[in-house]
Structure 1
Amino acid sequence: MKQADFEVIIIGGSYSGLSAAMSLGRSLRNVLIIDNGEPCNQQTPHSHNFLTQDGSTPKDIYIKAKEQLQKYDTIQFLNDLAITGKRLGDLFEITTKNGKKISCQKLIFATGIKDLLPAIDGLAECWGISVIHCPYCHGYEFKNAKTAMITNGERAMHLTSLIKNLTDQLTILTNGPSDFNKDQLKKLKRNNISVIENKIEKVEHQNGYVENVYFGTHEPIAFQAIYAAVPFVQHTDILQSLGCQITEQGYISIDSFQRTTVNGVFACGDNSSPMRSVANAVAAGSLTGAMVNKELADASFL
């Protein structure tokens, strides 16, 4: 039988991947982290709701985490992009963009997700700065601000109560026909939340901070923050090629121990949880590393 190059390969080297690596490195596991250095939050100015790191930049958290991992000599880093994966008997083989073929006993996907932003001029430049996704990560910084939500229907109703708790100046922008039933519209009206169905043409901003939203021939409206509930896709199709199931919501299907539906393959972070924050990614990664180590330890304890 072919000897694995590594006990564990972690695809994705942001917070959940680094956290998983720390659990494994402290258990003396031979680990490779494959990452191409393009995190989804790279233009976000500050990270919040993470105890001891509240207000730190995402980059500073990443740099500190990677520095701490350097002391574990069984952890290695590869600046590359994993493009294919397959099973080789009891092992897995990953092929990278630069042509490397690397095998492992256990595989962890910490690949995050790719947001599909609507084609609205100026919105992408504000993403993660003043166009935000999570009231827990960014809401406090925009408390009492004049705020919009680009969302519709049930998703809007889920978010509205959370955001209404932070500001009374709230407007829903459905960017087309609304999808609310009568009871939902009555509830929004009772809470003084208006709904604008006009198509959004442009988000005017200064250095990523929203100033006005334009609606074609209609008058622009000034806002200071916009919540956007946007669809997403997985960053890699290696998961499906290995047989990992995806949920109806688009997340990797995992159990309570971060195991996917394929034996030996684990997932952690935004790719497998709607709880999208640095703190949750770190927690999920730590659990994943521990579970992978447990499986490796049990297999060798004969």
Structure 2
Amino acid sequence: MEKQLFDVTIIGGGPAGLNAALVLGRARKKVALIDDSRHRNAVTKAVHGFLTRDGISPIEFRRIAKEEISAYPSVSFVPDTAVSITGSDGHFQVETGQGEAFISKKVLFTVGMKDQPLSIPGLAEVYGKSAFVCPYCDGWELRDQQLVIINKGPELMHFAPVISGWTNRFIICTNGPDELTDAHREELKQHHVPLYDSPIRQIDSNDGIVQQVVLEDGTIIPCRGIFFKPDLVTGSDLPQRIGCEMTEWGAVVIDEFGKTSIPGVYGAGDAASRMHQAIAAASTGAFAAAVINNELNAEAWGNNR
């Protein structure tokens, strides 16, 4: 197996990984960006809230990013999946599914998050077309529309006031026990928000546009859009497998500099945050790249005395 030498291996090619590659490429660092092109936002039509790129398709966003990064020849794109990491700070070995091996001084995880299978019949057909998870990304397109919110418990009581900035025409389906307190139910009642706890039988749609939500008790709720709470896991189990500390919700624990619990290993983007927006992921990727570059330069400076 031929081993290729790099300063940094980036695992994951979303906004965080791409922005990190851009910063490191401009810093003259040799970078391998490993990405299998199985992106969570592949179901969505547009990226929103990203200055100068508002409304761009995810595919076009990545095409432009790679074109810009290609101006820096020290960055290599590897269309593959990272399957194992061994070694330690200064000498990591990353192996891929196709049998390539990359030796690098540092590793940056930008693996994002991925959805667990959607258990509600009909939800997969509307996801990314008229059913979404983030109102900051897609609330404008559904402004003033009749919506169904699929959520429950304390997170619902955070989400309800947030979505009210886009529309006051929404109904809550908890798809089972609501996990709310009496005070929470009274609060929703005071704001004239209908609440249904019957399980959801199915979501009916036409060409990806939701028409109605049908509950097990026979209730039919017409609507034009849905926001739901996804069940997420990290886009790769490699961080956990190599011993990175993880949060209770499954994200990689990082400090204010993007460092994980393992020296020489960093994290950025959705896999290390609850700020699941493209522009937030890109910014954390850029910052982690700068920290990595500074650390590499300091190590080289010390070794050259």
TM range (shorter): over 0.9
CA offsets, 1:130-186, max 9 Å, x none?
111111111111011101111101010011101012111111111011111011111
Root-mean-square deviation over aligned CA pairs: 1.4
| Aligned residue in 2 for 1:124 | 124
Query: Residues of 2 paired with 1:70 and 1:101: CA distance?
Result: 22
Question: Segments of 4+ in structure 1 off by > 3 A?
Answer: none
2:151–2:228 CA contact under 8 A, matched in 1: yes
AA partner of residue 150 (structure 1): I
| Aligned residue in 2 for 1:101 | 101
| Aligned residue in 2 for 1:24 | 24
AA partner of residue 134 (structure 1): C
Q: Shift of the alpha carbon at 1:129?
A: 2.1
Q: Shift of the alpha carbon at 1:41?
A: 0.5
> What TM-score do you get using the length of structure 2 for normalisation?
0.95
Query: Residues of 1 paired with 2:157 and 2:217: CA distance?
Result: 28
After TM superposition, the structure 1 stretch with the greater mean CA deviation from structure 2, 157-166 or 208-217, is: 208-217
CA offsets, 1:28-47, max 9 Å, x none?
00000001111110120111
2:13 maps to 1:13: yes
CA offsets, 1:193-224, max 9 Å, x none?
11111111211112222111112350321111
Q: In structure 1, list runs of 5 or more residues that go unmatched.
A: none
CA offsets, 1:115-142, max 9 Å, x none?
1243112211222221111111111110
AA partner of residue 293 (structure 1): N
1:204–1:210 CA contact under 8 A, matched in 2: yes
Query: Residues of 1 paired with 2:115 and 2:29: CA distance?
Result: 33
Query: Residues of 2 paired with 1:217 and 1:188: CA distance?
Result: 21
AA partner of residue 196 (structure 1): Y
| Aligned residue in 1 for 2:193 | 193
What pairs up with 1:109-120 in 2 under 5 angstroms?
A: 109-120=109-120
Amino-acid identity (%): 32
CA offsets, 1:3-29, max 9 Å, x none?
971110000111110000001000000
Query: Residues of 2 paired with 1:92 and 1:125: CA distance?
Result: 41
| Aligned residue in 2 for 1:58 | 58
> What TM-score do you get using the length of structure 1 for normalisation?
0.96
2:111–2:235 CA contact under 8 A, matched in 1: yes
| Aligned residue in 1 for 2:207 | 207
After TM superposition, the structure 1 stretch with the greater mean CA deviation from structure 2, 203-212 or 65-74, is: 203-212
Query: Residues of 2 paired with 1:260 and 1:129: CA distance?
Result: 35
2:44 maps to 1:49: no
Query: Residues of 2 paired with 1:28 and 1:88: CA distance?
Result: 23
What pairs up with 1:174-253 in 2 under 5 angstroms?
A: 174-216=174-216, 218-253=218-253
| Aligned residue in 2 for 1:39 | 39
AA partner of residue 135 (structure 1): P
Query: Residues of 1 paired with 2:240 and 2:179: CA distance?
Result: 32
After TM superposition, the structure 1 stretch with the greater mean CA deviation from structure 2, 229-238 or 261-270, is: 229-238
Look up the SS of the partner of 2:271 in the other structure: coil
1:107–1:266 CA contact under 8 A, matched in 2: yes
Query: Residues of 1 paired with 2:140 and 2:49: CA distance?
Result: 10
Query: Residues of 1 paired with 2:117 and 2:171: CA distance?
Result: 19
